[in-house]
Amino acid sequence: MTKYKTLLLATALALPLPVLAQEKGTIEVLHHWVSESESAALNVVRERMAEQGFGWQDSAVGGMSGANATQALRTRLASGNPPGAMQFLGYEGLNWNAEGVVRDFSEPANEKGWFDAIEPEVAEFVTADGKFFAMPINMHRQNWIWANKKVFDANGLSVPQTWAELIAMGPKLKAVGVVPLATGDEAWQIQLIFDALVTDLNGPDFYRKALVELDTEALSSPGMIAVFDTLREVRGLVDDGFVGRDWAVATGMVASGEAAMQVHGDWAKGEFLAHGLKEGEDFLCFATPSKTPSYLFLIDSFGAFTTRDVATTAAQAALAETIMDPEIQRAFNRIKGSIPARSDVSVDGFDSCAVKSFEDRAAAIENGAMLGALTHGFASQPQFAAVFADVVGQFFVTDMTSQQAVDMLVNGIANAM
């Protein structure tokens, strides 16, 4: 028994019970969703829990694409005070499950067909050895470009078919006072671009070799040099005010026309929709340009740590079934900008960006091009993903050469082995 398990089993969660939920109890949920669209989407789950008589204690820790929330979770666990439920990204859930402290929901999963409702690529991050330990609520595609349609129309721009075409838009946009590409300087925001370039320039098989298998030959290859060379050109599209910029602020720049484009996951769409903008009229969505299209995915899932508190246990079960409810997934994802993690939810009622996401996901599964996003922890274990984030982040804000970046990457991965 690990020290974490000992602490968790010895701790009963004592959560406040609002009047609404005196009979069934309240569940504290730790997550990193703090933007307007994220909060609105999560409210779909909160309201269903309230209908069932359960209270909700919100513990939102934003920033660093979930890294701050993950650190908060680890601190809580170390002190023997876990939340009732928590949001997982990438290998986080798998690693806690390996500790033996995550609750098993395989009984309702078997009864309600959850195992059959998700693709193998999703199951890899929420199941293990017959155990269903985390409930996936959505699937985001990471390799999207979001563009201001009026800016494109006013400047005679069309959807770029290659990264060279996209980069060539820069001078024309700058000449009319428009920022070509909006981003912040956080490493994860830059890495969104890096991930896309790896597969767009070199193909899905190279992505697997370099980012999943961590093959030294691939990491040090001319193909990886080309990725950094292109990333340097992309840097020329970004304004000098990107330091300290939040991702949602960058999205707002595209929405207002201050910027033309943003390379970002489809949670950006939730921000456009939250401000009343319409796809096809106010903004455009298209995949990052590639001859061999891929689908870089991430999922948000929720797990629960074992506890002896009866009320919390009941609330955890209710939350699990709520998250896996097809109609909840439909309502949640229409607000969030993503598509359901369940592959059996109909596309009916979703907007055209989401319809394209459904279609591209199906094509990617068929073509072997559905790839876990490195940026959000779905390609490599955290110690390796951190090396990529460090190198890519430093490269973007310094005058480091592509060869230096590749050397730093190879050495960093070797040291993390």
208-224 pLDDT tens trace: 999 999 999 999 999 99
Instruction: Identify the pLDDT of residue 74.
Output: 75
Instruction: Identify the pLDDT of residue 9.
Output: 38
Give dist(CA 162, CA 200) in Å, integer. Answer: 9
> Would 385 be classed as within a structural domain?
yes
CATH number for the domain spanning 81: value is 3.40.190.10
> Would 134 be classed as within a structural domain?
yes
Contact yes or no for 250/182 (Cβ under 8 A): yes
Instruction: Identify the pLDDT of residue 66.
Output: 61
36: pLDDT strictly greater than 80: yes
> Would 242 be classed as within a structural domain?
yes
Residue 58 and residue 8 share a domain = yes
Residue 376 and residue 261 share a domain = yes
Residue 319 and residue 282 share a domain = no
pLDDT band at 19 (very low <50, low <70, confident <90, very high): very low
pLDDT band at 64 (very low <50, low <70, confident <90, very high): low
CB count in 10 Å sphere of residue 96: 22
> Would 285 be classed as within a structural domain?
yes
Residue 393 and residue 258 share a domain = yes
Instruction: Identify the pLDDT of residue 17.
Output: 36
107: pLDDT strictly greater than 70: yes
Mean pLDDT over 88-101 rounds to 89
Contact yes or no for 212/291 (Cβ under 8 A): no
Strand (E) or helix (H) holding 306: none
> Would 288 be classed as within a structural domain?
yes
pLDDT tens sequence across 353-411: 999 999 999 999 999 999 999 999 999 999 999 999 999 999 999 999 999 999 999 99
Residue 304 and residue 207 share a domain = no
Residue 110 and residue 252 share a domain = no
Residue 402 and residue 257 share a domain = yes
Boundaries of domain holding 320: 3-140+299-353
Q: Which of 68-72, 285-289, 311-315 has the highest mean pLDDT?
A: 285-289
CA 150, 155, 158, 161 torsion-angle sign:
negative
Residue 382 and residue 327 share a domain = no
Mean pLDDT over 145-150 rounds to 97
What's the burial of 57, exposed, middle or buried (CB within 10 Å: 0-12/13-18/19+)? middle
Give dist(CA 175, CA 209) in Å, integer. Answer: 40
Mean pLDDT of the chain: 90
The secondary structure of residue 102, as a DSSP letter, is: B
Mean pLDDT over 96-122 rounds to 94
Mean pLDDT over 325-341 rounds to 94
> Would 344 be classed as within a structural domain?
yes
The identity of residue 106, as a single letter, is S
> Would 358 be classed as within a structural domain?
no
pLDDT tens sequence across 50-59: 999 999 998 8
Residue 162 and residue 49 share a domain = no
Residue 410 and residue 307 share a domain = no
CB count in 10 Å sphere of residue 361: 20
Q: DSSP string spanning 181-250? A: E---SSHHHHHHHHHHHHHHHH-HHHHIIIIIS--HHHHTSHHHHHHHHHHHHHHTTB-GGGTT--HHHH
Mean pLDDT over 251-279 rounds to 93
Residue indicated by tokens 């490195």:
374
335, 353, 371 — which closes off a domain?
Answer: 353
Instruction: Identify the pLDDT of residue 2.
Output: 46
CB count in 10 Å sphere of residue 161: 11
5 or 229, greater pLDDT: 229
3: pLDDT strictly greater than 50: no
Mean pLDDT over 218-242 rounds to 97
Residue 136 and residue 173 share a domain = no
Instruction: Identify the pLDDT of residue 63.
Output: 65
Instruction: Identify the pLDDT of residue 209.
Output: 97
259: pLDDT strictly greater than 80: yes
pLDDT tens sequence across 284-307: 999 999 989 999 999 999 999 888
20: pLDDT strictly greater than 90: no
Instruction: Identify the pLDDT of residue 115.
Output: 97
315, 334, 353 — which closes off a domain?
Answer: 353
> Would 252 be classed as within a structural domain?
yes
Contact yes or no for 251/264 (Cβ under 8 A): yes
- Count structural domains, the chain: 2
pLDDT tens sequence across 161-217: 999 999 999 999 999 999 999 999 999 999 999 999 999 999 999 999 999 999 999
pTM: 0.87
Residue 132 and residue 239 share a domain = no
22: pLDDT strictly greater than 90: no
